[in-house]
Amino acid sequence: MVDKLIIFDTTLRDGEQSPGASMTKEEKIRIARQLERMKVDVIEAGFAASSNGDFDAIHAIASQVKDSVVCSLARANDKDIMRAAAALKPAGQFRIHTFIATSALHMEKKLRMTPGQVYEQAQRAVRFARNFTNDIEFSPEDGSRSDINFLCRVLEIVIAEGATTINIPDTVGYAVPDGYAALIQKIREQVPNSDKAIFSVHCHNDLGMAVANSLAAVKLSGARQIECTVNGLGERAGNTSLEEVVMAVKTRRDYFRLEVGIDTTQIMPTSKLVSQTTGFIVQPNKAVVGANAFAHTSGIHQDGVLKARDTYEIMRAEDVGWSANKIVLGKLSGRNAFKQRLQELGVALNSEAELNSAFGHFKELADQKAEIFDEDILSILSQEAKSAHDHETYRFVSLSQHSETGERPCARVVFIVNNSETIGEAHGNGPVDATLHAIESQVNSGAELILYSVNAITTGTQAQGEVTVRLSKSGRIVNGVGTDLDIVTASAKAYFAALNKLNSNTERLNPQCS
């Protein structure tokens, strides 16, 4: 018999806690649909009680996702659980994930509760959640640093009250693989009713061991659910990477002897969608989804791969959704060909108006760029989704800039501010610096630029540039992404995108949880 490993994706909840990664409702829906297309078992869509925006997003996802279980996080209190249940109500199948801290440090310093109070609150929370669903997950926050005897007492009572999944979070990324696996094994041995629940793992990557810890618990102590995020997205050093655990189990089936239901050909499209939506660029040497993941530069390696791919490749690039970067469309391509390519990419647009708008931007790009790749199309759609739903206080119109050796660059930017055209002009240390100063000369946002990053969407000198700008103001951090064939123009677009988020009431900071 081969067991199934449940993939619990928390990109939309824990992943969104990355500084600047907060998403709008429409962005969350789009990612949820892609996760469903990838056949993720459980989608943690958010934390319903944290904000009205998160509640609305979870409710919309619960209305539209049919093939995955939709989940909401909730603190161990009646108000949070009722809010989660209300948000999840439209779902065909849903889960309430409730949590409370169990480590001595968290109970004393954060909760200011005694162990007895935490025990009783955990019990009451799971009992109350049973009024809404039989699919209940319980997490003892900071579980990896909790007293084992107290932890087992809490877990025994929540299982008795109806918790069907027990998640042991390594909240601060403190665990090491053998110790973490031993902890879960000891819990399963000491809790008399542990066989009544599925054990889950939720690891953070502060010491670079999130994937190793998760897989160790699966292999050595019988955990059968891994909580993870696309691209390992998450606050601080991130979470367990979905693509890495899935491909590890798939590639080393001989070792893990587990099945996963993920459609691995959707891994790359999902990775790109999450990256473009959040503005968190995937590092080139990232396993599975990095640009260099299947690149071979060593002459010996190249020779071996040409003779037999499995000499240096343990998995095929196409198995995780990498395309051959072939030209798919051009300036002479028609609307039907464009629509067909969208279907092949697994992209579903909501209306003919959205299709017409996307096709119009495709034709504009095709007039400037001879070779159009899948990545270009996905970038167009990502920008379409943002502009269609975001309230734009600022909108880019045009840009002119001049720079030459020995002269200080200058830039002139024309943009819309609340339906009025504005012109900003400034000098800078380079064309990008001059452009951003030109914008700020009229905006005076008071924001601090804490990250500026450029990424080529495809290969070659005609590649579109994708720029990520991260701004900080009054403790709030937002990301803006812009794409264009001209890097300076892409920079201006990214800056305006970030400014629009700073001015948006829908953007918010997420609370830190398990």
| 148-162 pLDDT tens trace | 999 999 999 999 999
Q: How far apart are CA 469 and CA 491, in angstroms?
A: 8
Report how far residue 110's alpha carbon sits from residue 137's, in angstroms, rounded to the nearest whole number. Answer: 22
514 in a domain, yes or no? Answer: no
The verdict on 226 and 317 lying in the same domain is no
Is 510 inside any structural domain?
no
Interval 240-270: pLDDT, tens = 999 999 999 999 999 999 999 999 999 988 9
Alpha-carbon span 61 to 43, nearest angstrom: 9
Question: What's residue 310's pLDDT?
Answer: 58
H helix intervals, 71-176: 78-88, 104-105, 115-129, 148-161
Residue 508 belongs to a domain:
no
Within 8 A by CB and 6+ apart from 327, the residues are 371, 372, 373
Same domain, 226 and 99: yes
pLDDT of residue 353: 83
**285 domain-assigned:** no
User: Has residue 133 been placed in a domain?
Assistant: yes
298 vs 465 pLDDT, higher one: 465
Q: Are strands 198-203 and 165-170 parallel, antiparallel or unpaired?
A: parallel
Same domain, residue pair 137 and 168: yes
Residues 118, 83: one domain?
yes
* 329 within domain boundaries: no
pLDDT at 305 over 50: no
Inform me whether the pLDDT recorded for 394 exceeds 50. yes
Token readout for 154 is 């809490």
Task: Please choose, from the candidates 501, 483, 266, the residue with its C-alpha nearest in 3D space to the C-alpha of residue 379.
Answer: 483
Q: Is residue 509 part of a domain?
A: no
The total domain count for the chain is 4
**pLDDT for the residue numbered 319:** 83
Range with top average pLDDT, 180-184, 284-288, 369-373, 464-468 = 180-184
Beta strand ranges found along 179-294 (DSSP E): 198-203, 225-228, 258-259
Q: Indicate if 372 and 482 belong to the same structural domain.
A: no
| Partners of residue 276 on adjacent β-strands | none
Find the mean pLDDT for residues 50-66.
Answer: 95
pTM listed for this prediction: 0.83
Relative to beta strand 465-473, strand 476-484 is antiparallel
Residue 485 to residue 29: CA distance in whole angstroms? 28
335-344 and 352-368 helices cross at what angle (nearest 10)? 100
211 plus 154 within the same structural domain: yes
Single residue among 244, 278, 312 that ends a domain in this structure: 278
Instruction: State whether 179 and 218 are in the same domain.
Output: yes
Give the structural domain span for 55. Answer: 3-278
Of 343, 361, 383, the position where a domain reaches its end is 383
Q: What is the CATH number of the domain that holds 402?
A: 3.30.160.270
Cβ contact 217:176 at 8 Å: no
Asked if 140 and 242 sit in the same domain, the reply is yes
Which CATH number fits the domain that encloses residue 77?
A: 3.20.20.70
448 in the same domain as 374 = no
> Hey, is 259 helix, strand or coil?
strand
Q: CB-based burial of residue 339 (10 Å sphere; 0-12 exposed, 13-18 middle, 19+ buried)?
A: middle
Q: How many helices (H) and strands (E) does the chain have?
A: 17, 16
17 and 127 part of one domain: yes
Is 253 contained in some domain? Answer: yes
| 492 and 393 fall within a common domain | yes
Under a CB-based contact definition with an 8 Å cutoff, are residues 425 and 410 in contact?
A: yes
Instruction: Decide if pLDDT at 433 tops 90.
Output: yes
480 and 457 inside one domain: yes
Residue range 357-368, pLDDT digits in tens: 888 888 888 888
